[in-house]
Amino acid sequence: MIQRPKGTKDILPEEACTWQYIEDNSKRIFGQYGFTEIRVPVFEHTELFQRGVGDTTDVVQKEMYTFEDKGGRSITLRPEGTAGVVRAYIENGMASLPSPVKLWYNMAMYRYENVQKGRYREFHQIGAELIGTSSYEADVEIICMAKRMLDTLEMNTVKLNINSIGCPECRAQYQEALKDWIRPNLDRYCETCKSRFDKNPMRILDCKEKICKDLNEGAPAILDYLCDDCKNHFENVKATLDKLKIEYKIDSRIVRGLDYYTKTVFEFVDEENGLTVLAGGRYDGLVKELDGQDTPAIGFAMGVERVADLLTKKVKLSNPTPEVYVAQIGQEPNIFATLLVEDLRSKNIYAQKDITAKSLKAQFKYADRIGAKYVITIGDDELKSGLAKLKNMSTGEEIETGLNADEIADKLK
C-alpha cells in the first residue's frame, strides 16, 4: 500500500468541517477590516525566497523544497506566503491601488521540517498583508484583526507576545553588542549558529537547539537599542493596545524566523501546548528588496492545523445530516423517489434516497446511520393514494403527508 509522504496529513470529512468553520470565520473577519483575497502560485523562482525570506534563515538553508524543472529553472514550493504576495503586488502594479492595500490568503505551505506535533511538511496558513503604510495604527489594526479572528475560533488559551526588532539602523548597533556578548562562548554554539555569527547574529537568538537556547539566556535585548523612531512607534503600538484593552506581554526574545521583519513582531502562543498559532510582524524593507518602490507593510499568518487541533478539543463540529431520506420499495416507487429527491433539492432541502438497491430494512438502517432527521417511505400503495408516512427519526413519531415536494418541504419545517 502506498502511504502519504511523511509530514503530510489527510483531512477527512469529520475534520474538514472544522477547517471550513475556521475558513468561513476568517473570511468574515477579513471582510470586516476591508481585506480582499489574493491567490498566488504554489511554486515560485527560488531566488524570490532567498532574497525575500533571507538566505541565512532556517527556512531557506534547511527547509525548502527546491528542484530544477525540465527547463532548467530553479523552482521552490512556497514555504511561506508573504514573499509571493509581495511579488504579485509589485508585478501586477498594485501600488497604484488606493493605499494601503489589504490582502488575505489561505494557502498550503511546504517546508522540509523535523516532523513533530503541530509541525508538518505540508501545512496551511491563513494570512493577511497590509501594504503601504508605516503608521503604528496599521500594526494595531493587524493585531486587533488577528485577535478577533482567534477569539471567534475559541482560542481563549492563546496569549499575545510582542516585541520590536527595530530598523536596519538601530539593528546594526544591536548586532555589534550581541556579537560582543556571544563571542566569548561562540565555540560552544551549534555549527549553524557559528556560520551565522558574522552575517546575521540575530538568527542565533532564534536557534531551536537546546545548547544554543541555554547559551542565549541573558543576551542583550534589542529593545534597549531601538532608535527614537522605532522606540516611539513601539510605544504608540503598546499604548493603543492598552486603550483597546488587548492584553500582551513584551517578549524580547521574539526575533521571528524570517529575515524580512522590522519593528513590531508578535506571536499568539497557546499556553497549554506551547505552540504558536499565529505570528507576524512589520516588514518595511521587503517590497524594496524585491525591486518594488520603498513601501512599508505588515502582516501575519495563522497556522490552520494548529488552530484546528485546538478548536476540535473545544467544539464538536459535524457535517450536516439529511433533512429527509426517501425510502422506497418497488420499481415505480424507486423512479418516483428519484424525481422527488431532485424536487426537494431544487427547494434547497438536503435529501437522499437509496441508489444501491437496498432492502427497505437496510434503507432505514442506513438513514439512521447517516443521521437523517426524517424518513418518508414510498411503495405502490403510497403512489396510488398519493399519501405517505413521514417519520421523525429521533422521536419515532409519524405524520401523513401528500406526495409532493411542496407539502413535504412544509411538513419538514
What residues line the site for ligand ATP (CB under 6 A)? 80, 111, 113, 118-120, 123, 125, 256-257, 276-279, 301, 303, 305-306
3-state helix, strand, coil in the chain (%, to 5): 45, 20, 35
In the chain, the amino acid numbered 53 is V
Compare residues 119 and 194 and give the one whose CB is closer to ligand ATP: 119
DSSP readout, 360-408? HHHHHHHHHHTT-SEEEEE-HHHHHHTEEEEEETTT--EEEEESSHHHH
Torsion of CA 48, 51, 52, 58, to 10 degrees: 100
Q: Which does 259 bind (CB under 5 to 8 A by kind): Mg ion, ligand ATP, none?
A: none
Least separation, in Å, of the C-beta of 131 and ligand ATP? 18
Least separation, in Å, of the C-beta of 111 and ligand ATP? 5
Q: CB nearest Mg ion: which residue?
A: 257
Q: How many CA atoms does the CB half-sphere of 338 hold within 13 Å?
A: 8
Compare residues 122 and 398 and give the one whose CB is closer to Mg ion: 122
In sequence order, the 6+-apart residues with CB closer than 8 A to the CB of 164 are 222, 223, 226, 230, 231, 233, 234, 263, 264, 265
Compare residues 141 and 309 and give the one whose CB is closer to ligand ATP: 309
Least separation, in Å, of the C-beta of 119 and Mg ion? 8
Compare residues 310 and 340 and give the one whose CB is closer to ligand ATP: 310
H or E, element range at 341 = helix 331-346
- Pull the grid cell for residue 354: 437509496
Least separation, in Å, of the C-beta of 179 and ligand ATP? 23
Least separation, in Å, of the C-beta of 228 and ligand ATP? 28
H or E, element range at 117 = none
Q: Which residues bind Mg ion (CB under 5 A)?
A: 257
Q: Which does 119 bind (CB under 5 to 8 A by kind): ligand ATP, Mg ion, none?
A: ligand ATP
Least separation, in Å, of the C-beta of 118 and Mg ion? 11
CB atoms within 10 A of CB 11: 14
Q: What are phi and psi of 301, to 5 degrees?
A: -140, 135
Compare residues 109 and 230 and give the one whose CB is closer to ligand ATP: 109
Q: Which does 279 bind (CB under 5 to 8 A by kind): Mg ion, ligand ATP, none?
A: ligand ATP
Strand, coil or helix: 240: helix
Least separation, in Å, of the C-beta of 398 and ligand ATP? 50
Q: CB nearest ligand ATP: which residue?
A: 303
Compare residues 110 and 336 and give the one whose CB is closer to ligand ATP: 110
Strands 74-77 and 66-68: antiparallel
Q: Which does 80 bind (CB under 5 to 8 A by kind): Mg ion, ligand ATP, none?
A: ligand ATP
DSSP one-letter code for 219: P
Compare residues 75 and 108 and give the one whose CB is closer to ligand ATP: 108
Q: Which does 282 bind (CB under 5 to 8 A by kind): ligand ATP, Mg ion, none?
A: none
Cα 365 to its chain centre, rounded Å, is: 38
DSSP readout, 174-195? HHHHHHHHHGGGGGGS-HHHHH
DSSP one-letter code for 206: G
Cell 525570506, located at residue: 53
Compare residues 78 and 238 and give the one whose CB is closer to ligand ATP: 78
Compare residues 157 and 240 and give the one whose CB is closer to ligand ATP: 157
CB atoms within 10 A of CB 169: 11
Least separation, in Å, of the C-beta of 260 and Mg ion? 14
Q: Which does 26 bind (CB under 5 to 8 A by kind): ligand ATP, Mg ion, none?
A: none
Least separation, in Å, of the C-beta of 344 and Mg ion? 49
Q: Which does 303 bind (CB under 5 to 8 A by kind): Mg ion, ligand ATP, none?
A: ligand ATP
Q: Which does 56 bind (CB under 5 to 8 A by kind): Mg ion, ligand ATP, none?
A: none
Compare residues 19 and 123 and give the one whose CB is closer to ligand ATP: 123
Q: Report the distance separating Cα 225 and Cα 134, nearest Å.
A: 20
H or E, element range at 230 = helix 228-243
Q: Which does 299 bind (CB under 5 to 8 A by kind): Mg ion, ligand ATP, none?
A: none
Q: What are phi and psi of 307, to 5 degrees?
A: -65, -40
- Give the residues across from 265 on adjacent strands: 163, 281
Least separation, in Å, of the C-beta of 8 and Mg ion? 17
